[in-house]
Structure formats: C-alpha cells, structure tokens
Amino acid sequence: MVKINNETNGETMTMRFVQPYSNMTARMLLVVAVLMTLFTLNAYAADKTLSVSTDRQKVEMGDVINLVVQTNFQTFDDLDLSPLKDQFKVLGTQRSTNVSIVNGNYQALTRWDISITPKQIGELMVPPLTVDGIDSQPYKLFVSPMTQAGKQGVSFLESSISTHKAYVQQQVIYTLKYYHLGRFIDGSIRPPIFKDAINKQLKNQVNYQKDINGQRYEVYEWSWAFYPQKSGTLTIPPEQFDGRLQYRGIIKMIRNNSKAITLTVMPQNANYPKDKTWLPTPNLTLTQDWQMPNSLRVGDSITRTIHLQAQNLMSSQLPDISLDDQASFHVYPDDPKLSDQEVDSGINSAKTVKMAIVPLESGKITLPPITINWWNTQTQKMETATLPAKTLDVLPALKPQTNLTPLDQPNKPINQQVSHETSSKVSGIAWLWPALTAAFALLWLLTAMLYWRERQKKTFTTNAMTPTDSTGQSASSFERFHPSLERICALCAESNAKGTYQAFNQWSQAFPANAQAFLAINGNMALVNRLKAHLFHQEALDDALLPSFCQALKASEKQKTKVVKQQEGRQLDPIYPE
C-alpha cells in the first residue's frame, strides 16, 4: 500500500499496486497441459482413417485434378506419392494441419492437396496411399479425350514467315502466336531455332484478342527477324507450348505444337560485283553534309558527314565508307556510329561516318566519288547509290605578319647638328688624342697577355662557371628564331591549338627541309599526331602538349643551326632562304 498526500486540498489519496498473478498463471498452464493430454489420448483411442477424394471423377485429357488426401488424426509422417506416378503426373503438393475444439471435443486433421493430370485416356485408378501405417481405398477416375471448341480447339499454336523464298542475308520475319480460350494460368515456350542464320527478337509477348468462328481468343505474339547465311533449304522446327488454362471452371494442362516451316534461300545474284558488299534490301539511301569556312585555305579543316540508311538490314551488314589520303589533302576519320531501329516491317539500320579533311596545297582539289551497290529485293535488280565527286577551291595559307625594325636607319638632322658642334669643340684640344691613343694601346697589350695566360690555366674552370638557363644551355647560346617559328610558339603560349596547327603547316610549306628535319627527330611525329587527334577526333588537349611542341621546334632549329656551323670548307644554303 502506497499513500500520496495532496497538501493543497488536505486530502489523502490511496493507490493499491497488485503483484503479478504468478500463481494463477502456473495453474492455468497446468490445466491446459492436462486437457491437451486427455484430448490426445482420446484422439489416439479413436479409429484412424485415411480418405481420398477429388472435385469430380469424370475428367478430360489435359484437366488438372485436385486430389485431396486427409487423415482424421494429426501426423508428422510424409505421404508417399510414388504410386501415383504410373498413371498421373504430379504437378504440386500442399500440406496443412487443422486443430479444433468444439463443445469440448478435440479434433486434429492432416491434409494434402495434390495437383495431378492424367497421362492417358480411359478408366484410371488412384492406388491406395499409406500414412502412419493407415491405407486409403482405391479411387477411380474416368478420363475422356479433350473437347474441341469449334475447329481450333481450346488453344492452339501458330507460326508463319514473311516469305518462303529469300536471298542469302535477306531479312525474313518469323512470327509465333499462341491462341487460347478461358483464363491463362501459366506456361512456357522455348525460342525458335534458326540454323545457319543470324536472328534478333522484335516483339516479346504482345497480348491482344481475336475473334475466330464466333469465339474470342486471347492471343500472345512473338516475332523475330532472321538473316540466312547459307543458301539452300532452311527448316525451322515446330515450336511447343506447355501450360495451364482454366476453361469453363476446369483447370486444364495444355500442350500445343506448331508446324515446321521450310524456307528456300537463294545465293547472291551472279551479276552482282564480287568485290562489293552484298546488300539485299528494298531501299537504301546515301547522303552527306558539309561544314567548311567561306574561304577555304591551306591548313583549314573541312568536316564531311556521310549518312547511309538501309531498310530490313542490320547495321553490322552495312559496308565500310572511307576516303584515303592523297598528296593534296589529309583525311582524319572518326569511328563510325551504328544504329538499329525496330519497326513493324523489321529492322532499319543506319551508319554515320564523320571525317575531317585538311587541304595541303592551294588550287583546285577534287574529292573522288563514293559509290555503294545494293540489290533491290522488290525489283530484283542491282542499283547504285552515289555521292558525286566534289571540287574544292583552296586559297594559299595566310603568311604570318612580322614587324621587323630595320638595322640601318637614316641619320636625322638633329644628329648632324650635334656632330658638328662636337667637332668644333674638340679641335681646340687636338694634342690630347695622340697621348690617349698610346696609353690605350699599351693597356690593350697588357690585357691580351694576361688573358692568354689565364685561358691556358683555367679552361675547365671557365666552362664550369658559365651561367646556364633552365634547359642547361649557356646563357650566351640563346638564339633568335625565324618570325614564323616565333609565331608558332606564341600561339602555343596562348593555348591556341588550331592556330598552332595552321601556323605549323604554313611553316612546313615555306621551309620543307626544316620540317622534314623536325619530323625525323624521335618523338616529334607523335606530338603532331596528338595535336591532330585533339583537332579532328575531339580528344582532350593535354596542358603540356603545346609547350612541348614549341620546345621541340626550337630544339630542332638549334640542332640544324649547329650542323650548319660545324660544316666548313663548302658553301651551304641558308637555313631560311629568302
């Protein structure tokens, strides 16, 4: 007992806390245990039975039958179903236990629900089954043939092809349809087998309804496009569907088969060129797009995009489209882009080829035509798609602008005036000049002698103390380069890849010997190719590429200058001829 005082009202409230009914709970559990024991003994004292029943005894071939096996007692033994497998196919089994107490009477039941279907027509017998030593009685079933719903039946499988005669590598559409009445429960069908053919599925289980002979069927449709790779006779074997339907309240096991289909495959037409890709199609188109500057010059880039489209062919069947390098231009193609589009008539394919074309010389440049042969499957004739030749007018490259200060400048009037004034002042002290000249001559002789002695003693010390730049070259070896080369390096410093490439092309055309010497050095051609890859193949530009390009050019020019200076006794052409 716990007391709680309420000082405000002067009242005392009393609350009682009751301890858990530990003794009462124990008594209840004991009573339940005794009752369970009595009920169990009473159940085992009664007669044990094992019964077998079905929802109907007259069935049709293909019907799914629910066989109920039930005991009047609780058991933990398994039911042996092996005796059923002689005349029935066991589809599935479920087990349940039911315990009930009604008016003090305890009852425990064990039940098995077994789905079976007959294997043959006639009078079949469910043999005795045994559980816990108790046997069931034999049970008869009467199996009749499956009832046909009109001419088509409860269900059927239908296959077809778009044509029974086709060329090798020509598209053929194979369609498979499953029709049924009633409610579809489950089923399976394997994909068709196309021997010596490439195939691709188009429709995967399209569902719709169709009325046939006054009956409304549910239809499931599948379709494939296949391309025979070998001439001769191609046979598509029958397809088989296995499943379950509920028709007129009865579950039926269904097995339907389609018919085998034969296709005649013709070889490539004899008049078709042997060196061309065989393209059997009802339609093929070849088009192109151009992107180029208004004034095309040497070193500029032209973008040419070619589109090839074909009906009823896969993109893997389309031929390669290419343009080779020539003396007047270089070609930098991208990887082709392929696509396939599934339509009602099959597969339509496309190939897109994009290339960059860079003119190497001015004047008129002619790009050759591109032709593709194809076989029209509708007219049974060969046709040719052509992109005509194209002539380009290429202007010379713009020469780099150089601002060179003349080395010899004319004398100005102010200089003449200063020179005249100086002469008038010096004439008054002419005696001083001979003395100064003699003194300077003596000093020059002394300096020359000292310099000769020190040079003999400290040759290596002098070389070691010569100041160098960051590349290890002597500070006195810094050279001035040709303005066109300086312009390339200036564009490199601005990270102007396109301008660098154009300036390099202009320099190469102006000084081909220098360019040849540059490209002959190991690693320099790789720098040029990396620059092309960025400009014409959309590859990322490495931050170190342009500075390395400039350094490589300067190193090549220094090496060439060194070779020229080392060759003595013969007249050489200048590095940069006028």
As for how many domains the chain has, the answer is 4
Please give the Cα distance from 522 to 507 (Å, whole number). 20
Residue 194 lies in a domain: yes
Residue 446 lies in a domain: no
Same domain, 196 and 120: no
Same domain, 499 and 541: yes
Same domain, 508 and 539: yes
**Do 575 and 564 touch, CB atoms closer than 8 A?**
yes
Residue 370 lies in a domain: yes
Q: Which residues contact 161 (CB under 8 A, 6 or more apart)?
A: 172, 173, 174, 175, 236, 261, 263
Residue 63's H or E segment, with its range, is: none
User: What local confidence, expressed as pLDDT, does residue 541 receive?
Assistant: 86
What is the CATH number for 250?
A: 2.60.40
Same domain, 371 and 296: yes
Residue 135 lies in a domain: yes
3-state DSSP of 358-402: EECCCEEEEECCEEEEEEECCCCEEEEEEECCEEEEEECCCCCCC
User: What local confidence, expressed as pLDDT, does residue 449 receive?
Assistant: 73
Q: Which residues pair with 346 in a beta bridge?
A: 343
Packed helices 524-537 and 512-520: angle between N→C axes, nearest 10 degrees: 100
Please count the helices (runs of H) and the strands (runs of E) in the chain: 9, 31
Residue 369 lies in a domain: yes
Same domain, 134 and 159: no
User: What local confidence, expressed as pLDDT, does residue 268 receive?
Assistant: 94
Same domain, 131 and 159: no
Q: Per-residue pLDDT for the chain (578 aa), expressed as one digit of tens each? A: 333 344 334 443 333 433 444 556 666 666 555 555 555 544 444 588 999 998 778 887 877 888 999 998 888 888 999 999 899 989 889 999 888 887 777 788 899 999 888 889 999 999 999 998 899 999 999 998 876 554 578 999 999 999 999 999 999 999 999 999 999 999 988 889 999 999 999 988 888 888 788 788 898 999 999 999 999 999 999 999 999 999 988 888 888 999 999 999 999 999 999 999 999 999 999 999 999 999 999 888 899 999 999 999 999 999 999 998 888 898 999 999 999 999 878 999 999 999 999 998 999 999 999 999 999 999 999 999 999 999 999 999 876 544 433 434 444 444 444 334 333 444 444 556 666 666 666 777 777 677 666 665 554 444 444 444 444 444 444 467 888 888 899 999 998 988 888 888 888 877 888 888 888 888 888 888 888 888 877 788 888 899 999 999 988 888 877 766 665 445 545 545 55
Same domain, 181 and 132: no
Last residue of a domain, one of 119, 144, 169: 144
Same domain, 344 and 390: yes
Largest CA distance in the chain: 162
Residue 258 lies in a domain: yes
**Core vs surface per residue 82-119: b (16+ CB within 10 A) or e:** eebeebbeeeeeeeeeeeeeeeeebbbebebebbbbbe
Residue 229 lies in a domain: yes
Residue 572 lies in a domain: no
Q: Exposed, middle or buried, 69 (CB in 10 Å: 0-12/13-18/19+)?
A: buried
This prediction has a pTM of 0.57
Last residue of a domain, one of 144, 168, 197: 144
The count of other CB atoms within 10 Å of the CB of residue 11 is: 9
Last residue of a domain, one of 352, 367, 394: 394
Same domain, 67 and 159: no
Same domain, 341 and 366: yes
Same domain, 244 and 308: no
Same domain, 260 and 309: no
Measured in whole angstroms, the distance separating CA 127 from the mean position of its chain's CA atoms is 60
Which residue range forms the structural domain that includes residue 525? 483-563
3-state DSSP of 281-350: ECCEEEEEEEECCCCCECCCCEEEEEEEEEECCCHHHCCCCCCCCECCEEEEECCCEEEEEEECCEEEEE
The helix/strand/coil state of 135 is: strand
Q: Which residues contact 165 (CB under 8 A, 6 or more apart)?
A: 263, 264, 266
